[in-house]
Amino acid sequence: MTSVMVSRIRRQQIAQLIADGKRLDGRGLKDYRSIQIESGIIGKAEGSARVRLGKTEVMVGVKIDVGEPFSDRPNEGVLTTNAEFVPLASPEFEAGPPGEESMELARVVDRGIRESKAIELEKLCIIPGKKVFVIFVDVYVLNHDGNLIDASTLASIVALMNTKIFKYEIKDGEIEKKPGFSPLPLRDIPISVTLASINGILVVDPWLDEEEVMDARLTIAFSKDGRICAIQKGGSGTLSPQQIIEAANIAKEKSEEIREIVVKS
């Protein structure tokens, strides 16, 4: 429903080019757009990052609070991921309560981080069953030019990598802040790679016009050891089982390239 109108002739052009192994923006089918990463850009946030994926731009801020653990995980910190489609990011975005697309985005980003066990949540317990650190990851979409999932996952993990937690001690069951910070304990760097299927052909990192034309998209996130940690299919088309396996293999290769960029940044 949130569709920027792509004219029929442009649709045809995009699909025909892809059939010839080319793309409208000059990339090859398996090329990712250029990635620019900045980290620690918001001083008030405990962790932050801005990622540009071509013209797509996403900012993530991490805030840390103390709260109650979930009843079934009394010894673990809590991760909360939220995504905002800020109205300045696209003519299609409107202010107001989050829509299904922003909820899906937040949940897919969350899934990659959670299922790879990237954050050592068991180290974020303060008083078992009572007080734990709550990590808020807020995804802020600033410019939408396609593939928000990958840009947001990337920005989130970079923000978490530079997140600091205040030092504390417990006095009479109360938490007392001490000077200094320690880094958020991380054990993994999940990377997601999204592909679109356009007339049955897979392309990596679809930009907005390609997302308008695609039959379906498939996002696959990988943990450091090359295992898949999250998958989400989107769009109202279908994929064949063969395409899914092909996509997983391409995505794995791409995720390794992207992880190298993240580690170097």
Partner 1 sequence: MTEKIVLVNEDGIRTDGRKLSELRPIKLEVGILSNADGSAYIEQGKNKILAAVYGPREVHPRHMALPDRALLRCRYHMAPFSVEERKSPAPSRREVELSKVIREAFEPAIFLEKFPRTSIDLFIEVLQADGGTRCAGVTVASLALADAGIPMKDLIVACAAGKAGGHLVLDLNDIEDKEGEADIPVAYMPSFNAVSLLQMDGLLTIEEFQQAINLALEGCKQIYALQKEALKAKYQAIKESTEVTEEE
Residues forming contacts to partner 1 in the complex (CB under 8 A) are 71, 75, 100-101, 103-104, 106-107, 111, 114-116, 218, 223, 226-241, 244-245, 248-249, 252
- Residue placing its CB nearer to partner 1 in the complex, 24 or 78: 78
Within 10 angstroms of residue 133's Cβ, the number of other Cβ atoms is 24
Q: Answer yes or no: are the C-beta atoms of 119 and 77 closer than 8 Å.
A: yes
Total count of residues recorded for the chain = 265
Minimal distance, residue 74 CB to partner 1, in Å: 9
Instruction: Compare residues 164 and 224 and give the one whose CB is closer to partner 1.
Output: 224
Nearer Cβ to partner 1 (18/230): 230
CB of 40 to partner 1, least distance (A): 29
What b/e readout covers 44-58, taking b as 16+ CB neighbours within 10 angstroms? ebbbbbbbbbbebbb
Of 16 and 75, nearer to partner 1 (C-beta) is 75
Q: Which residues is 131 bridged to in the sheet? A: 127
Nearest to 160 by CA among 48, 37, 264: 48
Least distance from C-beta 224 to partner 1, angstroms? 11
- Quote the least distance from Cβ 7 to partner 1, whole Å: 15
Classify the phi-psi angles of 204: left when phi > 0, otherwise alpha if psi is within -120 to 50, otherwise beta.
Answer: beta
Q: Between 37 and 216, whose beta carbon lies closer to partner 1? A: 216
Tell me whether residue 42 or residue 244 sits nearer to partner 1 (CB atom): 244
Q: Minimum distance between the CB of residue 111 and partner 1, rounded to whole angstroms? A: 5
What number of other Cβ atoms are within 10 A of residue 211's Cβ?
22
Cβ at position 238, least distance to partner 1 in Å = 4
Nearest alpha carbon to residue 187 among 140, 138, 139, 122: 122
